[in-house]
Structures are given as C-alpha cells and as structure tokens.
Homo-oligomer: A and B are copies of this chain.
C-alpha cells in the first residue's frame, strides 16, 4: 500500500504526469533524513503554476533525490487579486503577518516604510521563504510574491488607477459595511504602523480616489491582528470565501 502523502513541498520545477523532479540538497535532507521518507513514499508538490501533484520518491540519498509526478491532486487555484501593504513591525510579528496573509489568501505582500516605521531594511528572501513555508502548510497552490521594502510615498506614486485600497483606520463605518457596497476586482489592504500614519501620509491617502476607509471595531488592534481581521473581512465580502 502506498503511504498517504502528508508532506507538501514547493518546488521550482514544471509538474506534469510522469515528470521527474530533482530535489535540491535541503529538500533531500528534509525528506530523507528528517522525515525519513523512502523509495515509493508519496509527497505532494506544487510550483505556483501547475496545481498540486502527488509524486513518489524514485531516488533517495542523503544529498539528492528524484520524485516522479503521478497524478494531479488539485488544480491551480490562484489567490484573489489582493495585495497586502503593511509597515513591518517587530520580527516575530512580521513573520506572523506573512504567514497569516498566505493562510487567508493574498496575491502579493508589499512591505512599506512610513514616517513612523522603525524598519529601514528587510530580508526579502527570508520573507519569501516564510511565505513558501506557509503555503506548503496551508494547502495553497500558489505562493504570494513578496516585494522589496519601499517607502509608502514611492509605493503610492504610480499606484494603478483601477486598484482600490482598503485603508483600515478609525473611520466611523465598519469594514464589513464599507466592503458590502464595493465591486470585486483588484484591491489592496493597507495596515499602518503601530504609531499610526503621519498627518502628511494620512492626507496623501485621503486624497487618493482609490482609497476606501473603514474601521476595525472599537478596540485598538495590534498591526498583526488588524492584518488578519482586514484580510478576513475582505475575503468574506469580495474574495474566495463566499
């Protein structure tokens, strides 16, 4: 009897019936030394383009291995066209925002630097790896792209006319009410830094026709909680949770 595939792995390689997929040294180490898989054991693979495939171990050594794709287990299911703009907070909370955004479903993660953001650099590769790991664990068939850290002003400078921005602040109207009246299409969610936006930033945002302001309730939410709450409400109103 074939082992049930419990492990999901992102690979940067085409997937199709009969396709062989070489593993890199880290993946081989993980599958064969850590997880103790053997020849014939099954793994689920996805690459962000070809859906999810059940593959079997064809070759296994400590340092390398080859998997053979057997059958597609899920079609590609892209995330809604939603970007998350957020001011990076402390490291653990930033990892958390990335992980939860992937679980809840976004297309792109855009860290932005604001007047009151402390971070002036960010390890983009590390964040992309966090996103990949979160996708492996939550059953997603795509991995959101992580952008470089950009100043908010530059991020907004050439903002696409058709992409609306849900700006979560202390506006009077609740996000669910605000979103109920909105059309589907390209969106972004903007979560400010813990210290709030500067008056200049707030004025800049309020002047953009794409910006929709909404509140996340009467309590003060931390940045990472606000990110999860806003993504949840957006997914329920305009995304793929309906």
Contact = CB atoms under 8 A, between A and B. Distances in A.
Interface of A: 77, 100, 103-105, 137-140, 174-177, 215-222, 225, 228-229, 232-233, 235-237, 239-242
A140 B219 contact: yes
B177 A218 contact: no
A233 B228 CA distance: 11
B104 A242 contact: no
Given A228-B228, A229-B228, A236-B233, A220 B137 contact: yes
A176 B241 CA distance: 9
Contacts of A236: 174-176, 233
Given A228-B232, A232-B233, A233-B236, A104 B221 contact: yes
Contacts of A242: 174, 176-177
A14 to B, nearest CB: 24
A229 B174 CA distance: 16
A167 to B, nearest CB: 16
A105 to B, nearest CB: 6
Nearest to A235: B217
B215 A103 contact: no
- Determine which residue in A218, A236, A240 has the highest number of CB atoms from chain B within 10 A of its CB, and name it: A236
Given A225-B228, A241-B215, A220 B176 contact: no
A100 B223 CA distance: 11
B220 A103 contact: yes
